Structure formats: C-alpha cells, structure tokens
Structure 1
Amino acid sequence: MSNIQIPNLKALTVLEPYATSIIHGNKRIEMRSYRLEIPNNEGIWLAIHAGGSTRILNPEICATIRFTRWPELPSEDRLRKNCGKILGLAKFIACIKAEEIPDDEVWKDHYGEKLYCWLISEVKPLSAPINCRGFLRVWPVDQELVQQIINDVGPFS
C-alpha cells in the first residue's frame, strides 16, 4: 500500500463548445455569476468537465466561435463525444469583476448575470477524456479520478 497522498482537486462543469475551447483552444476567461476563491493568490487548478447537456451545442454558436474566436474549433460531432467527460485541467489565477475586462475581449460574455471573469494562465489536456458525472458550481473530484488525471498529465499542485 502506497503512502503517497493524492491531492484534492475540484472541477468546473462547462458546456460544450466552451469546455473544449478552454482545454484545446484559446479561451482564457470563464465568466460566472459567483466569485472563485483562489487561496494565497497562487492560482488553483480545476478539472474542466464538459457538461452532458448539448443545449447550446448548435451550428450557429459553433460557427460564431470559428469565425470570431477560434477557427480550429472541432466539429459538433467531435464536441458531442466530449460531453459528460473531464477534458483536462485549467489553472485559474485571478477572479475579477467583469466590468474590468474590456468589452472587445472576444470571450467576454455579454449575456445574463455573469458578473465575474475567472482568468486562466495555463491548461493541461488529458490524452483521453475521462467519463464523469458533473455538478453545478465548483465540485470535488473523486480521488480515483484524481489519480487517473495525475497518471495522465502529471502533478498539478
């Protein structure tokens, strides 16, 4: 039996096509209606989980992303295969009020009650997404899944 301590890891469920845009693309802000607590201002790694819902995964949204934000966005069929899976890790380094982000930032969401921008400094994609049930807000990842993630991407703390 190993005495190696598996670090705690939390996850954030993000709908497709945005989850893939974070892990494999150039999306470096995630907008939410609530603050992300970042201990000691050192940044916090969160697993990015592609939500199971495909309600916003449609040709119009994908075409807009390809035209205005990330031309290499994968096909809708490929994105659907990611749903319900952890795609990788993202390191969040700051949480600031949305009003502090310029309106011309292409990933800034101008809809709804998204009051905070969570800034991402780096990502670690998994070599193969891991099936996992997601939850609302920030949620703890099961320790067995954390071990699978570490085995794939290496240490993240």
Structure 2
Amino acid sequence: MSNTQIPNLQALTVLEPYATSIIYGNKRIEMRSYQLEIPNGEGIWLAIHAGGSTRLLDPEICATIRFTRWSELPSEDHLRENCGKILGLAKFIACLKAEEIPDDEVWKDHFDENKQLYCWLISEVKPLSIPINCRGNQRVWRLNQNLIQQIMNDVGPFS
C-alpha cells in the first residue's frame, strides 16, 4: 500500500484502567473537558492509547470498577502491561454535554459542577490482536503513517 492510500488517524490517550475498559469492556462514554469534532456526523475512529501513567491503577479504583461497571476488568498487573500501548480503535459517534446523559449511566463520572464536561459516545471498537508500543500525548493527537499502517494491517480498514 502506498503512503498516499494511508488515511489520517488520530489517537486519544486514556489512562488505565479506562483504556482497557473501552477496547475490551463495556465503556462506551469517554468524558472530557473539551468537545470532539465529528465531521459529517458519521463518526470518527480514534486509536485508543493506554497512557504510560499507572496512577489510576489503584486496587480500590479497580475493585470499584469491577463491582459497579465491568466485572471482567483484568488484574492490575495485566493493565500495567498495556500502559504505553495502542490497544485498538473506537468509533466516536456523538459529543454531548454531560448533563444530556442520564446520571444513572455507570460510566458517567461526576466532577466539578462549575466546569462544562462532554461525553463522547462510542458505537463500536476494534481491538488490536497485539497492542502497539507508542508514546502518547495530551488531547487528540495525530499518529504517524507507520503506526497507522501497523493498525490497518491488524484490524483492516476503519473509515
């Protein structure tokens, strides 16, 4: 495949245990303090990168997720192995103000009431068969063509 045929792809760094919960679990909302632009209303694929930080891999946080949100959350040791890797793709189909999402949605977190938050809604995911080591970044960021090619070789077309 020539470089001109490789589509653009952006990524989103999400800390563990939440990145794994998106790609392998039932997390279909990602909350952010900024909006996601979804061109043409058709949805946008983003690579989900598990951030390198392990600060949220606290046994209490993971136990709460297992009890209230996703009982099959892997062990903290397994989640640590995912840090710093692209786990797969998620298709985001809408970006709504947090107050538009019912409070009983288990993945909706409640933060500072004085700050506008947005819920990015996910319709489908494509896990990679082997996560790809990659350095992440803040906000939504562009992947280089080599990484995009590796992802396409694994999951196939995504546009």
TM-score normalised over the length of structure 1:
0.97
Counterpart of 2:5 in 1: which secondary structure? coil
Q: In the alignment, is residue 119 of structure 1 matched against residue 121 of structure 2?
A: yes
Find the counterpart in structure 1 of residue 40 from structure 2. 40
- Structure 1 counterpart of 2:140, one-letter code: V
Q: How does 1:1-157 map to 2 (within 5 A)?
A: 2=2, 5-112=5-112, 113=115, 115-157=117-159
Structure 2 stretches lacking a partner, 5+ long: none
* RMSD of aligned residue pairs (Cα, Å): 1.2
Structure 1 stretches lacking a partner, 5+ long: none
Counterpart of 2:74 in 1: which secondary structure? coil
Judged with a 3 Å threshold, the aligned counterparts in structure 2 of structure 1 residues 144 and 60 are, in CA distance, closer, same or farther, namely same
Identity over aligned residues, as a percent? 85
Counterpart of 1:145 in 2: which secondary structure? helix
TM-score normalised over the length of structure 2:
0.96
Give the drift of 1:70: 0.3
Moved over 6 A (4+): none
* Structure 2 CA distance for aligned equivalents of residues 67 and 61 of structure 1: 10
Judged with a 3 Å threshold, the aligned counterparts in structure 2 of structure 1 residues 120 and 3 are, in CA distance, closer, same or farther, namely closer
* Structure 1 CA distance for aligned equivalents of residues 153 and 9 of structure 2: 14
* Structure 1 CA distance for aligned equivalents of residues 144 and 3 of structure 2: 18
Give the drift of 1:95: 0.1
Judged with a 3 Å threshold, the aligned counterparts in structure 2 of structure 1 residues 3 and 54 are, in CA distance, closer, same or farther, namely closer
